[in-house]
Amino acid sequence: MEREKRYPTEGFHLGQIVKAELTRQGRSITWLAQQVGCSRVFRHKWIYTDLLFQISEALDYDFFKLCSDYYQAKKCEKSNQ
């Protein structure tokens, strides 16, 4: 399977979504880096699941649901074509 088909190239940037939630909660990047041991999360459209799980726990927010919702929307969009 080609990379373009496995990973969306636009419209869903997980790093920016995490950053927005972090900002909404009034927490700093430094705080999150201390919680999960990584500070370069926001540069990536996609994040490894183990790191995403740690971020979800730290922010008490289900980022996996967002990924699933995005997948379902793309699946629905594809079936409607």
Instruction: Note the pLDDT tens digit of each residue in 13-31.
Output: 888 888 899 999 999 988 9
Contact 41, 73 (CB under 8 A): no
Q: Which pTM was predicted?
A: 0.75
Spelled out in words, what is the top-level CATH class assigned to the domain 3-79? Answer: mainly alpha
Q: Quick one: pLDDT at residue 70?
A: 86
User: What is the rounded CA–CA span in Å between residue 41 and residue 43?
Assistant: 6
Residue 23 tokens, joined: 């900002």
Q: In this predicted structure, what is the pLDDT of residue 64?
A: 93
Placement of tokens 């373009």 in the chain: 4
Confidence grade of residue 7 (pLDDT, cut at 50, 70, 90):
very low
Sorted by where each begins, the domain ranges of the chain are: 3-79
Question: In this predicted model, what pLDDT tens digit does every residue of 28-59 receive, in sequence order?
Answer: 988 998 899 876 777 777 788 998 999 999 99
